[in-house]
Structure formats: C-alpha cells, structure tokens
Chain A
Amino acid sequence: MSDILRIDDQNLKSRLFIGTGKFPSKRIVKDVLISCDAHVVTVALRRVDQDSDDENILDYIPKSCLLMPNTSGARNAEEAVRIARLAKSSGCGSWIKIEVISDNKYLLPDNMETIKATEILTKEGFVVLPYMSPDLMAAKRLVDSGAKAIMPLGAPIGSNRGLKTKELVRILINEIEVPVIVDAGIGSPAQAAECMELGCDAVLVNTAVAVAKDPVSMARAFKLAVEAGRLAYLSGLGPVIKKADASSPLTGFLREAQKA
C-alpha cells in the first residue's frame, strides 16, 4: 500500500516531524533523528551566543532531513517575515514553520498575524506551514493565503497534555484540503496515535521526546505509534456503540437442547 505524505514537491518518508529544542545535548539530537527515521525537522534562529560552544545544531541533523526553521520569537507578522528571510538566506531551503506568539502564558498563536505572514512569505516563494489555533475560518484563510499544510495545536506547547482540541481538529480534517499536522502538546505515543487514528496527516513532537528519560528510544516509540495510528485510520475503525455486540457466535450453545 502506497501511503506517502506529499507536501509541496516533497514526498515525506515519515509522518512524525521532530522538533530539536530542549534536548539534554546536541549530540543526542542526531541519535534521536536516526532512531525514528525523521524526515522533517524543526530548528529555531537566534542571535549567536558568543559565550556558548560554537557547535551548530545543523552539524547534528543528517543531510537526508528536510529542515523546517520556525519563526519562534516573532510577535507579529512583520517579525515572522524577517526571521523567515534570515532562515532562507542561510541556504537551508525554503520551508518555514510560521509561529507568531504574543501570549506568554499559554503560548497560543495569533491566527490573524499568522495569516498575514503566510500570505507575504508564500508570495516570496516559501513553503509555509503555519502553527495555528484550530479555528476553521482561520484555517481556510491560511489555505487561501498559500499554506501548504496547517498545524493546529493539540494543547499548549510543552504541556504534554495531548489532543485537547480533538473536536476542532476533526473539523479541520474534514473541511481542509491541505495536510493537517498536529503540532504542540502531544505528550505520549498513545496521544500521537490518537491524532493519526483521527485522520491527521502527521504530528510534530518535540518536548515529549526531548525530556524523556531515554529520548532515543522514546523517539522510536513515537515512530511506531504514528505508523500504527495511520494504519488504523486507513484500515477504517469500527463504530463505537453503547451496548455490547458479542464477538463470539450467539448460536450453538452447549446448554441448548437439540431439537429432533
């Protein structure tokens, strides 16, 4: 069965996107990416810290991965556009995860500014995947503005709380034609599988892997869960009912008298 996720002109070999923040060391990032066969990998852009080591995170990302820098730190569309242009000029491709946040408590994205940034960057030739609050009208406007996928949050960033926005994400899956990727809040492989069973095209996980006791084997667990969830979705889940529906035959019981 051929089941490849295609975004822009790329056939993606994995439906598990990996974020590279919060890991105990850069070295472990490489092992994590290899252990889960990651394809799309996110990074951030920051001012060079002259006091820290000069090792670059890019040195630990296999060349076979597709880099998707984020615009974290942007508080409005203008700042997101600036960060995206910096990322592109580094020569790491044209994929960009738009992330516009001005709410410091819950880190919820600003959909309106995200739409503005998506429109500008799409016109400049970026492949734009926006992080968003799962709102149908905002999602439609993002698609109209050129978004190649939409990335609704499952729960606040880093919260590990799972797919709390399930009913809204379900609507996006039904109504939006571009891929739907749950980004943020996914804290366990079971939660990742739940997203995939629902019909999401991919999930983006960072914190749950990075803060695990063994990030390398946790990444593998997420890979298996995403594959299992996807296969379940494609196989067609059975209906949920309120009463029982016996799985063994309801005839031929030993207690029944044979009729002559």
Chain B
Amino acid sequence: MKIRINGKEEDVDSDSTLLELLERKGLNKNKVVVEHNAVIVDREKLSSFSVKQEDIIEIISFVGGG
C-alpha cells in the first residue's frame, strides 16, 4: 500500500507499524519525532501504531540552526 513519508510516496507492507518504518530506515526512535496525519505520535505508541493506505507521515529530527 502507498503512504507518504516526508513528502515522498512510498510503498510499504499493509499494517506496518510506525516503529517498523523507522527501523527499516535505520532511524533511532529516540532521536526523531513522528507525526501521523498532522498529529504527533507518542514514542511509546510507535510500536503499536499501524499505518493505513494514504497516511501522511512526517519524520522530524533536530539539525543545526540559529
């Protein structure tokens, strides 16, 4: 099924959890913040949160800035 991650369309297994998506990308859940359809998802809920077709996911982290 297709979902949008950081503005890019991606094909993922149906019922993937957000944590699985992060792990597949090699991202540490403690160093990112995840937004699901514009709602922030608690870190503890990432492992139980399944994504659905056409969901919009944003994965955010801190970078240098002034």
Residues of B3-28 at the interface with A, using a CB-CB cut-off of 8 Å, are 6-7, 25-28
CB contact between A21 and one of B26, B27, B64 (< 8 Å): that residue: B64
The range of chain A's interface size is 20 to 34
Of all chain A residues, the one with the shortest Cβ separation from B64 is A20
User: A11 at interface (Cβ–Cβ under 8 A)?
Assistant: no
Interface residue total, chain B, C-beta cutoff 8 A: 22
Chain B residues closer than 8 Å to A19, beta-carbon distance: 64-66
B interface footprint on A66-97 (CB within 8 Å = 1, 0 otherwise): 00011010000000001001110110100000
- Pull 18 A–B residue pairs with CB atoms less than 8 Å apart, ordered by A: A21-B64, A22-B64, A23-B64, A44-B64, A44-B66, A45-B61, A45-B65, A47-B58, A47-B60, A48-B59, A48-B60, A54-B28, A56-B31, A56-B61, A56-B62, A58-B62, A69-B65, A206-B66
Can you add 20 more A-B contacts, CB < 8 Å, to A47-B58, A58-B31?
A19-B64, A19-B65, A20-B65, A21-B63, A22-B66, A26-B64, A29-B64, A44-B64, A44-B65, A44-B66, A45-B33, A47-B7, A48-B60, A56-B31, A56-B61, A57-B62, A69-B65, A70-B65, A85-B40, A89-B33
On A, residues with C-beta under 8 Å from B are 19-23, 26, 29, 42-48, 50, 54, 56-58, 69-70, 72, 82, 85-87, 89-90, 92, 157, 184, 204, 206-207
